[in-house]
């Protein structure tokens, strides 16, 4: 039944209203849950409208906006963040980079839902996630918070997270947009041409809006083409709210995220967080002085109230500790960590055989639950499993010895030499990468491991029979100085509170690794586009990541999409057919040709027609799916590519154009292993 409108309320309640002085019971006053957003905002004073447009600070780790008691409108209660809830103890999931490596959208939907459940159970009604900036360069301090370098992949993962989370709370797609340097995040101005902006830095945000129906978008700290993102009318009004039809609200990133009163309000910012520096009394004064039209305030307040109405049943959650760190969420955290592990090198040392002998586990990080950055994405679980604990729990009959490192005594070298195998746990921590100004981390100084760790790996490799390296980090590591000396290399990311158990699951073969790199690992840092963490002005080109490496014909150490398994796969029978309404169907048979069950990630890349009117990447990922196959099993994977995704943005006409011609569809298991290809004439 449609809610009664203000006009009918008016007639029905007129008599009662004549004698009524209490606004809460006055039938003339529209009520939250009964009236529309427009009616509620229409009944607000200027100050009440502006109160919808700013935070009021933090209470018990939740960032709040004020409720409107008179109209019965609840306030927002926001909480970070992308790998779990940053309030008290909560389930610490693997970081988003790890979840990107799963290439498993259904799993990510479950993570989003679990984080939404926990946010709600903590009393929040909005989660400040997902972080979904395309990883332009792996040295970005917050690389671990996002899903990877490819817009199609980031978009698909983020949509899944949003859909899951929004079954319980509002989500926030952040940081809109072109946010990829941390150390100068408040000041950097990114110059970017319109085509690069549209085709590389925005498509995933568009998906979050159009497919994910995300309730809110957080504007980034940085400026784009001279305008701070919290007042970029071009991005906020023309593109986000105009072209994409976003009907939610934009909140600023936190301290220093809002830079002006009139500029931000007119530019399209709806909520200043976390407190009213520009959007409190100053905004009211600006309206009264005629510097900001009241229609701008009406629109912003309506956007906020509209989303509150859409999420009305979720705005007053019940605090419920039993829903936090539940057995189901811990099991999910472990499954995700297992699926996220990327096996990069294996000369047969893995899986480790459970036979009598000694396994030596080396490295200070073996005894640490290395959960990642300590900035706004930090999550504090009530307990967490270290790699050493995970290995010790399942190694029998192998005996496990820990040698601290990074330097070794003569006796320790003898222990390493006599062991059946040595597992070295290496990597980065919040000291080397993370959110700027909050932790030591910030942007990375180098893509290499710290020198002491490189030496530690080489010292082990010089004496051990088998050196198995487990790397924990948020993104690509340059491994060239030592990788040829080791028997196996497993990328474990920051694997969350169950990480130690998941690492052991994979090392011992209780699970077969099936994660794939969501970002290219270069041989040398110079192989990638440049990254300067002190930039105040920077220009972004069209290519980065695998597109750049492909364009330059530069061999990566490990390509985007790459990952080994304990089994083997083959693909055949590629068919590309035109479906209805601009959808292209891609079908391929995938066979597990090896001795055990495992997961393959089918990847579809598309190259534009020869002689394109604009420069193109050699090929772009357009679809992917993760397939679980029992040993010997064959299944047909079905994927879809939208014709519109093959368009280029024509700057002169501001339109998207699908060029007529022959498009090359290549299918395989990484951006550099594409055994199947067919051409298709489009559009």
Q: Which residues are catalytic?
A: 253
Exactly one of 118, 231, 251, 253 binds ligand BGC (CB under 6 A); that residue is: 253
* Alpha carbon 666 to chain centroid, angstroms: 26
- Cβ-based nearer residue to ligand BGC, 127 or 202: 127
Q: Do the beta carbons of residue 424 and residue 355 sit within 8 Å?
A: no
Task: Print the binding letters for residues 65-84 with ligand BGC: x by CB under 6 A, - otherwise.
Answer: ---------------xx---
- Cβ-based nearer residue to ligand BGC, 254 or 311: 254
The phi and psi torsions of 292 (rounded to 5 degrees) equal -130, 120
Cross-strand bridge partners of residue 652: none
- Cβ-based nearer residue to ligand BGC, 81 or 495: 81
* Alpha carbon 308 to chain centroid, angstroms: 24
Q: Do the beta carbons of residue 665 and residue 606 sit within 8 Å?
A: yes
The answer for 427, left when phi > 0, alpha when psi is -120 to 50, beta otherwise, is left
| CA gap 142, 220 in Å, rounded | 13
- Report in angstroms how near the CB of residue 96 gets to ligand BGC at its nearest: 12
* Alpha carbon 428 to chain centroid, angstroms: 19
- Cβ-based nearer residue to ligand BGC, 188 or 627: 188
- Cβ-based nearer residue to ligand BGC, 98 or 220: 220
- Cβ-based nearer residue to ligand BGC, 250 or 296: 250
- Report in angstroms how near the CB of residue 128 gets to ligand BGC at its nearest: 4
The phi and psi torsions of 392 (rounded to 5 degrees) equal -60, -35
Of the candidates 196, 148, 158, the residue with the CA atom closest to the CA atom of residue 616: 196
Q: What is the largest CA-CA distance in the chain?
A: 95
CA atoms within 13 A on the CB side of 655: 4
Exactly one of 254, 278, 560, 566 binds ligand BGC (CB under 6 A); that residue is: 254
- Report in angstroms how near the CB of residue 352 gets to ligand BGC at its nearest: 39
Instruction: Indicate the SS3 state at residue 95.
Output: coil
| CA gap 249, 126 in Å, rounded | 12
Q: Do the beta carbons of residue 159 and residue 208 sit within 8 Å?
A: yes
Task: Print the binding letters for residues 157-176 with ligand BGC: x by CB under 6 A, - otherwise.
Answer: -----------------x--
Q: How many residues bind ligand BGC (CB under 6 A)?
A: 7
> C-alpha distances in angstroms, 2 versus 35, 39, 361, 387?
10, 14, 65, 56
- Report in angstroms how near the CB of residue 545 gets to ligand BGC at its nearest: 22
Residue 260, exposed/middle/buried by CB under 10 A (0-12, 13-18, 19+)?
middle
- Name the DSSP letter for residue 185: T
Instruction: Indicate the SS3 state at residue 322.
Output: helix
- Report in angstroms how near the CB of residue 275 gets to ligand BGC at its nearest: 12
- Cβ-based nearer residue to ligand BGC, 254 or 408: 254
Which position's Cβ is nearest ligand BGC? 376
Report if residue 95 touches ligand BGC, rule: CB under 6 A: no
Exactly one of 376, 430, 512, 670 binds ligand BGC (CB under 6 A); that residue is: 376
- Report in angstroms how near the CB of residue 205 gets to ligand BGC at its nearest: 15
Task: Print the binding letters for residues 320-359 with ligand BGC: x by CB under 6 A, - otherwise.
Answer: ----------------------------------------
- Cβ-based nearer residue to ligand BGC, 142 or 198: 142
Of the candidates 421, 404, 453, 423, the residue with the CA atom closest to the CA atom of residue 357: 421
- Report in angstroms how near the CB of residue 186 gets to ligand BGC at its nearest: 10
- Report in angstroms how near the CB of residue 81 gets to ligand BGC at its nearest: 6
Residues 111-130 that bind ligand BGC (CB under 6 A): 128
Site of interaction with ligand BGC (CB under 6 A): 80-81, 128, 174, 253-254, 376
């Amino acid at each position: 039944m449609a809610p009664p409108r203000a006009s009918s309320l008016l007639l029905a309640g007129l008599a009662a209203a004549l004698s009524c002085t209490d606004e809460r019971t006055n039938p003339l006053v529209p009520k939250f849950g009964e009236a529309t957003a427009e009616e509620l905002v229409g009944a607000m004073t200027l100050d009440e409208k502006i109160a919808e447009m700013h935070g009021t600070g933090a209470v018990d780790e939740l960032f709040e906006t004020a409720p409107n008691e008179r109209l019965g409108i609840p306030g927002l209660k926001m909480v970070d963040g992308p790998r779990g809830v940053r309030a008290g103890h909560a389930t610490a999931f693997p970081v988003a980079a790890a979840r990107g490596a799963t290439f498993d959208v259904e799993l990510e939907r479950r993570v989003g839902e679990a984080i939404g459940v926990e946010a709600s159970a903590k009393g929040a009604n909005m989660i400040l996630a997902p972080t979904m900036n395309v990883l332009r360069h792996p040295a970005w301090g917050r690389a671990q918070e996002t899903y990877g370098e490819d817009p199609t992949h980031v978009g698909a993962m983020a949509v899944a997270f949003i859909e899951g989370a929004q079954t319980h709370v509002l989500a926030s797609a952040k940081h809109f947009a072109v946010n990829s340097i941390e150390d100068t995040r408040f000041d950097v101005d990114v110059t970017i041409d319109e085509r690069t902006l549209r085709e590389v830095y925005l498509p995933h945000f568009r998906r979050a809006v159009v497919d994910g129906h995300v309730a809110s978008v957080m504007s980034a700290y940085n400026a784009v083409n001279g305008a701070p993102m919290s007042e970029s009318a071009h991005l906020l009004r023309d593109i986000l709210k105009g072209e994409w039809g976003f009907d939610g609200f934009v909140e600023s990133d936190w301290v220093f995220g809002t830079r002006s009163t009139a500029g931000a309000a007119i530019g399209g910012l709806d909520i200043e967080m976390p407190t009213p520096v520009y959007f409190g009394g100053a905004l009211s004064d600006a309206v009264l002085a005629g510097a900001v039209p009241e229609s701008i305030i009406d629109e912003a307040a309506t956007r906020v109230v509209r989303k509150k109405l859409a999420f009305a049943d979720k705005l007053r959650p019940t605090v419920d500790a039993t829903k936090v760190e539940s057995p189901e969420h811990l099991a999910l955290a472990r499954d995700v960590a297992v699926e996220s592990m990327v096996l990069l090198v294996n000369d047969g040392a893995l899986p480790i055989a459970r036979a009598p002998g000694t396994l030596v586990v080396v490295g200070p990080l073996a005894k640490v639950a290395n959960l990642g950055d300590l900035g706004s994405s930090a999550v504090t679980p009530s307990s967490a499993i270290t790699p050493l604990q995970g290995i010790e729990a399942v190694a029998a009959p192998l005996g496990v010895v820990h040698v601290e490192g990074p330097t070794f005594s003569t006796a320790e070298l003898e222990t390493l030499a006599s062991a059946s195998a040595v597992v070295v746990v290496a990597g980065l921590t919040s000291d080397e990468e993370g959110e700027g100004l909050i932790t030591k981390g910030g942007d990375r100084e180098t893509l290499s491991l710290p020198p002491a760790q490189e030496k530690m790996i080489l010292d082990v490799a010089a004496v051990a029979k088998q050196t198995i390296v487990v790397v924990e980090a948020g993104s690509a590591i340059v491994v060239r100085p030592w990788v040829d000396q080791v028997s196996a290399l497993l990328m474990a990311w920051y694997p969350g509170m169950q990480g130690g158990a998941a690492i052991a699951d994979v090392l011992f073969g209780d699970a077969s690794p099936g994660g794939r790199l969501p970002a290219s690992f270069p041989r040398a840092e110079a192989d990638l586009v440049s990254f300067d963490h002190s930039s105040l002005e920077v220009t972004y080109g069209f290519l980065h990541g695998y597109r750049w490496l492909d364009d330059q014909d530069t061999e990566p150490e490990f390509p985007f999409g790459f990952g080994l398994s304990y089994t083997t796969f083959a693909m055949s029978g590629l068919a590309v057919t035109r479906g209805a309404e601009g959808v292209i169907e891609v079908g391929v048979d995938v066979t597990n040709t090896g001795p055990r069950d495992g997961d393959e990630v089918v990847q579809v890349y598309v190259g534009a027609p020869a002689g394109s009117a604009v420069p193109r990447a050699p090929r772009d990922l357009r679809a992917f799916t993760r397939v679980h196959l029992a040993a010997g099993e064959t299944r047909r994977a079905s994927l879809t590519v939208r014709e519109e995704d093959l368009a280029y943005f024509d700057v002169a006409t501001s339109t998207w154009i699908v060029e007529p011609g022959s498009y090359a569809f290549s299918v395989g298991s990484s951006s550099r292993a594409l055994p199947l290809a067919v051409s298709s004439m489009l559009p």
